[in-house]
Amino acid sequence: MSDVFVSYKAEDRRRVEPLVAALESDGLSVWWDAQIGGGDEWRRSIEDQLDAAKCVLVMWSSRSIAPEGRFVRDEASRSMDRGVYVPVRLDKIRLPLGFGETQALPLNGWKGDRSDRRYQAVLAAIRARLGPSAPEQQIADRSGPIDRRLLLGGGAAAVVLAGAGAGAWFLSAPAADGGSIAVLPFANLSGDPAQAYFSDGIAEELRSALSRIAGLKVVARTSSEAVRDEDAKSVARKLDVGHILTGSVRRSASLVRISAQLIDGRLGTESWSEDYDRPAGDALQIQSDIAQRVAAALALQLAPAAGGRLVLGGTTNPQAHDLFLKGVALRLRAHDARVLKNAIELFDSAIRLDPQFADAYARKATTLCQLASAFSNSEGEMQRGFDEAARIADHAITLAPELPSAHAALAAVSLGRLDFAGALLEFRKAASVNSSDANILGDYGRFLGHIGLPDEAYPIGRRLVSLDPLNGVAYSVEAVALFYSRRFADSSRISRKILTLAPGAPPPLTGLGDAMLLTGNYREARAAYAQVPADNVFRIASEGILDERVGDHTASAKAVEKLERLFGGAASFQLAELQTQRGEHEAAFAQLDRAMRVRDPGLVILLTDPFLDPIRADPRFAEFRSRIDFPAEVGG
């Protein structure tokens, strides 16, 4: 007699398999009709097991509630009569009449992660039905064999890409009109939450690799993660893609298991799937092989064309690659000096194992720029940080001349040195070789808007929104370009759009407030600023300008004092804006000189900032502008 009987519609089998495997891994005996032998009388066997089970798990889906799901409804009725009914919802549906009194536990979008709170709720409900006879929860065995079924159902493509040192791969690309795909987050089935960096990292690397196939639109990470729990059709509709790649990955000390599934997003049907078992020591070779197969299958499914490079700047060393993924994951955490230093140590460890690992050098260089600009204790320390970052980024480019992350690192170095002409050159190189990297496109597009090249920024903004439609930051390129083009009404409209996706985010709130202030809507400006944390440097400066505009000179003077007290030289550009608005032009130029000394990144908007308009006609402004290397194509 089994602990759990699983009732489901046959067409949902692949969605049910991960749950069966997870329950068995947690020590429960599970019966489902996949266990019926060829010679069994299947209907009698099902009835016997249904009547004997201590708990019946009924999997409600859009298929099982349909007319052809009558067997599921019959099994649910019998289990309700016996008091062993536990309903689970695979889709966002309303349960059939008579079955809605018991709350159905949601598992829509679940891909097999046993640490997921939704699975834990199902497990707890089953154990409650079993009572004292429930087996103790099992801890996943990290060294023994792994149940193959864990990887078959919910679908996740765990693919890690390696290259560069062993040469790049070239695959046929889809036709320019046919390709769009979202790579959803991969389920971490390792039984260890600390392994999440690995499953997340390989999903991101697959996005990066597939984006190099000409004509294939690959949705960016943030938007892909935002729909991780939704069904394929909903994902396709929200992200405007034709295909969805999902998968799962599980690692033990001796084995790597990977399952990949390609789904037609319009129909919600599976187009292709495959799963792999390999020794852990061969991980990179295996991952490269899997990546080639997945990409080749995508090219076949989505249409053939000219070849496109998939891997650039990687490694053939599995230990180096693992350290690299840990470093990348660490950089996504809270932005503080300790985290950045730990990420640099991980990149260094990867480089020691593979001195040809170009992307590790590039990511280290970018992290050094972040550390230098935000956490230096002196101008000398900051300059040394940028010098080291430049040296490391140059070495990455020597190893992989077209590596986007290396050119993006040099752009960051140039920004830190106030070499805006150099930054533009490197951003253009980074975007030209990988026009689908959302982070690079976002940084590049906002930079263009800041320095006064909106016509170049707008198409990048549109491309970014196409790649990352559920990420509010994607819309910031257009908002920035509109604001610094003095199209304040249009920029406020985009800021409001961003706030629907990221409610309460300080940048769009201050952007909205500034647009309202500059169009004379002072009440709305103050309401927007009031939603930003009180010690935010931009709120303090903008509210001080607003106070000055409405004639409260005392309040704006307090804002000057507060900026100086809280931030000192780090707020020198904001102080220049505020003192310009207060009519204190001598003090404003003194703050601009100070901003130059401390390499204040606010100087990027020197030529476009409307709050500096009162001093633009002063001869000292032209002299100051000549000290900064702006691109020749910008005015001012």
Given a cut of 70, whether residue 264 has pLDDT beyond it is yes
**Alpha carbon distance 474, 437 (integer Å):** 12
Q: Which pLDDT score, from 0 to 100, does residue 35 have?
A: 56
Strand partners, 322: none
Q: Is 316 helix (H, G, I), strand (E, B) or coil?
A: coil
Higher pLDDT, 448 or 318: 448
Q: Which pLDDT score, from 0 to 100, does residue 148 have?
A: 26
pLDDT digit string, tens, across residues 397-449: 999 998 999 999 999 999 999 999 999 999 999 987 556 788 899 999 999 99
**Alpha carbon distance 494, 472 (integer Å):** 10
Q: Which pLDDT score, from 0 to 100, does residue 202 have?
A: 77
Phi first, then psi, for residue 504 (nearest 5°) are 80, 5
pLDDT digit string, tens, across residues 506-561: 999 999 999 999 999 999 999 999 999 999 999 999 999 999 999 999 999 999 99
Pairing of strands 85-89, 4-7: unpaired
- Work out the mean pLDDT of the chain and round it to a whole number: 82
Q: Measured in Å, how far apart are the chain's first and last C-alpha atoms? A: 82
Judge whether 314-436 and 533-636 match in fold: yes
Given a cut of 70, whether residue 38 has pLDDT beyond it is no
The ranges assigned to domains in the chain are: 4-133, 149-311, 314-436, 533-636
| CATH class given for the domain over 533-636 | mainly alpha
| Fold classified for 314-436 | 1.25.40
Q: Are 491 and 511 in contact (CB under 8 A)?
A: yes
Distance, C-alpha 632 to centroid of its chain: 35
pLDDT digit string, tens, across residues 107-148: 887 877 787 778 888 888 888 788 766 665 543 333 333 232
Question: By mean pLDDT, which of 82-86, 198-202, 239-243, 272-276 is the weakest?
Answer: 272-276
Mean pLDDT, residues 313-328? 86
pTM: 0.70
**Alpha carbon distance 463, 457 (integer Å):** 10
Question: By mean pLDDT, which of 3-12, 139-148, 472-481 is the weakest?
Answer: 139-148
Query: What CATH number was assigned to the domain covering residues 149-311?
Result: 3.40.50.10610
| Fold classified for 4-133 | Rossmann fold (3.40.50)
Given a cut of 90, whether residue 286 has pLDDT beyond it is no
Cα atoms in the 13 Å half-sphere on the side-chain side of 66? 10
Mean pLDDT, residues 170-184? 56
